[in-house]
Amino acid sequence: MIILTLAACSTDQTNPLLQPFDTPFETPPFHLIRHEHYVPAFKAAIEQARREIDSIAQQEVIPDFQNTIEALSRAGNRLDLISGIFYNVNHAETDETMQQIARDVSPLMTDYSNDILFNAELFARVNQVYNQRQNLNLTPEQNMLLEKTWKSFARNGANLSGEQKEQMRKISRELSELSLQFNDNVLAETNGWFLHVTDENDLSGLPVSTKDAAAEAARAKNLEGWVITLHGPSFVSFMRYADKRNLREKVYMAYAKRGYQQNEHNNTEILTRIANLRLERARLLGYPSHADFVLEETMAQSANTVNDFLKELADASLPVARKELKEVQQFASANGGKDEIQPWDWSYYAEKLRQARYDFDEELTRPYFQLEKVTEGIFDLTHKLWGFTYRQNTEIPVYHKDVEVYEVYDADGSFLSLLYMDFFPREGKSGGAWMTSFREQYRKDGQDFRPQVSIVCNFSKPTDTSPSLLTFNEFSTYLHEFGHALHGMMSQVTYGDLSGTSVYRDFVELPSQILENWAVEKEFLDLFARHYQTGEPMPGEMVKKIIEVKNFHAAYATVRQLSFGLNDMAWHSITDPVTMDAEKFERKAMEPVQLFGWIDGTMMSTAFSHIFSGGYAAGYYGYKWAEVLDADAYKLFKENGIFDKKTAQSFRENILAKGGSEHPMDLYVKFRGHEPSIDALLERSGLK
């Protein structure tokens, strides 16, 4: 039996990443970590991990589950810790030095990974155990780990010839470097542009909260007046409310040209190269396309299933979306819009129409969604469902002063998880919102190592005159990411490889998207949604209107998501390298669901980080796929009560706690009693 420990992997007493973490809950010692610590730590941890791998591969004893599969799962723990710290910080608090470190470390990590996958002795042992799997009397989780381990070798080139393996090494290394460069370019383009406004008339139509945030952004740049940026809160609000059409167009064009300008941050060649390299890798492994390779390990299982799914949704939503676009055009024409509606007009006039039709302005919900109160409300929701309690711990080191850390306790008082929360935009942070972790949950030697989960968002910052007040959409985003966090925090598995969100890509969004359903439940909103100045609860009429407008232009929103999914599938379904112009390729992919005319000089692929620098290649459809799951699953909560503990416990035991330890469809059926259908989503969206 091989014993692998989490001891320090170097005698370097000055590098905090190489020593046991002497911090509360053994959390990352951010107060001690400096840029210069990362590369030496990676190198030392890689060397330790190599020794651990070699000791497994070179054993003389007959391979079995424990000495080979389980031991391999435990190997490299120190490297996993260092990687979790570095890559998370590089997305949430980066700078040029961190980005250069990422480029320096990338080939080291790629070579290390390939050295494992192409280790013939190691794969021989894994293969021997795999071939005996029917006679090993393994638990479902052990079976899943064995299958996942074997596939990690087989699906990454372990059976290739020596020459082919070298080709795979080159492809893997280049893909890793290109993905990093793609993300760096998007971040540079997002941070590098802003609209400096000195005439307050140019801010006509903007809510006070947006103007205050713009003034704060200007002060941060030592400028007079106001600054509109391409970060989410600023960009979205400006496109929705700014009266000056020429300025909306200017901001929109800056956003839509990210990565597609003639400068050092152009991503056109990079994304085409990434798509072609992924195809080359798939061919080496015996698959016609990257999509065929990826989708083999999903609930959908094939590109045909995905394309049929996208077409079914398009057939249901596209006719309605065209009607929605027509009515917005008519509304714009009747209200001073002289020209054909353009992409920079949609949000503006759609919002005006929504206000006119429902007498509802989403900005009026902001005072009821004070960030601190929303946090309390979400905590309260998890307490009602599962009995969770939270304690803020200010002694735990953080990577930025804005980050808060909470200890999370289960209903029986046992420690469940740590939860880091990082809410506000800054130049060193990537856009969007995501959940991640600094340590996954796992069990070893009778001890349950609890996870250290993190939520990262880009919400409206507090200003000199008001606290952070969320829009309803931001509130929904918070619930979404908290659903991911619950998936990580409630994990109860043995092996970290199967922990929390380590599930099929088209299943991972179920826990996040199901939590969004509570956003329109008055019974939940009454717990916390109170005006930050008066303390008055959100009026019942406002809650009613939120529900009424939730499906306002649902078809348009669906078609927009479908266009992204079709674009993703196009780039990753190629069976021959892309040689045509990237903009033309994108237009051909998205044409079936295109609602507006094409705008020259713009592309969405050049900033499509989800698929070119994230993990969603041939998987973006998963957001809509998971909506089918969550719509069907939430019906059970609606039938039994939105705070029903029995339903919540079943969801925990059958979905959240299981991670990737069993096939997701099996888990879903255990919870729901049947496989999902698209009907619940169409009904919820008003498209049926």
**pLDDT, tens only, 433-451:** 999 999 999 999 999 999 9
Confidence of residue 51 (pLDDT cuts 50, 70, 90): very high
Q: Which tens digits make up the pLDDT trace of 228-259?
A: 999 988 999 999 999 999 999 999 999 999 99
Integer-rounded Cα Rg, in Å, for the chain is 25
Alpha-helical segments (H) within 193-289: 208-220, 232-241, 245-256, 268-284
Judge contact between 110 and 101, C-beta under 8 A: no
Confidence of residue 687 (pLDDT cuts 50, 70, 90): confident
Q: What is the mean pLDDT of residues 215-219?
A: 94
Determine the pLDDT at residue 11.
Answer: 47
What three-state secondary structure class fits 505? Answer: coil
Rounded CA-CA distance 411/354 in Å is: 43
Determine the pLDDT at residue 688.
Answer: 72
Determine the pLDDT at residue 2.
Answer: 29
Q: Which residue type does 396 have?
A: I
Q: Is domain 16-159 given the CATH code 1.20.1050.40 in the classification?
A: yes
Q: Concatenated DSSP letters for 562-631?
A: HHHHHHHHHHHS-SS---S-HHHHHHHHHGGG--S---TT--SGGG-HHHHTSS-TTTTTHHHHHHHHHH
Q: What is the mean pLDDT of residues 123-135?
A: 96
Closest CA to 485 of 517, 529, 441: 441
Q: What is the mean pLDDT of residues 184-213?
A: 95
| pLDDT greater than 90 at residue 112 | yes
Confidence of residue 678 (pLDDT cuts 50, 70, 90): confident
Determine the pLDDT at residue 681.
Answer: 85
Rounded CA-CA distance 429/90 in Å is: 8
Average pLDDT value over all residues in the chain: 94
Residues tagged active-site: 481
Q: Which tens digits make up the pLDDT trace of 263-285?
A: 999 999 999 999 999 999 999 99
Same fold, 16-159 and 262-354+551-688: no
Burial 419-436 (b: 16+ CB within 10 A, else e): bbbbbbbeebbbbbbbbb
Determine the pLDDT at residue 3.
Answer: 27
User: What tokens does 81 get?
Assistant: 């810790």
Determine the pLDDT at residue 12.
Answer: 66
Specify the pairing of strand 434-439 against strand 442-444.
unpaired
Determine the pLDDT at residue 296.
Answer: 93
pTM of the model: 0.85
pLDDT exceeding 90 applies to what percent of the chain?
90
Domain boundaries, the chain: 16-159, 193-256, 262-354+551-688, 367-550
Q: Which tens digits make up the pLDDT trace of 330-381?
A: 999 999 888 899 999 999 999 999 999 988 888 899 999 999 999 999 999 9
Q: Which tens digits make up the pLDDT trace of 613-627?
A: 988 999 999 999 999
Determine the pLDDT at residue 549.
Answer: 86
Rounded CA-CA distance 151/153 in Å is: 5
Judge contact between 485 and 534, C-beta under 8 A: no
Determine the pLDDT at residue 680.
Answer: 83
Determine the pLDDT at residue 338.
Answer: 80
253 contact partners, CB below 8 Å, separation of at least 6: 344, 599, 601, 602
| pLDDT greater than 80 at residue 463 | yes
Architecture per CATH, domain 367-550, reads as: Orthogonal Bundle (1.10)
User: What tokens does 644 get?
Assistant: 């029903």
Confidence of residue 604 (pLDDT cuts 50, 70, 90): very high
Q: Which residue type does 492 have?
A: Q
**Angstrom distances, CA of residue 532 to CA of 116, 369, 370, 619, 661:** 55, 8, 6, 40, 44
Determine the pLDDT at residue 465.
Answer: 87
User: What tokens does 124 get?
Assistant: 């021989």
Q: Which tens digits make up the pLDDT trace of 374-420?
A: 999 999 999 999 999 999 999 999 999 999 999 999 999 999 999 99
Determine the pLDDT at residue 431.
Answer: 85
Q: Which tens digits make up the pLDDT trace of 550-602?
A: 889 999 999 999 999 999 999 999 999 999 999 999 999 999 999 999 999 99
pLDDT exceeding 70 applies to what percent of the chain?
98
Architecture per CATH, domain 262-354+551-688, reads as: Orthogonal Bundle (1.10)
Measured in degrees and rounded to the nearest 5, phi and psi for residue 442 equal -160, 165
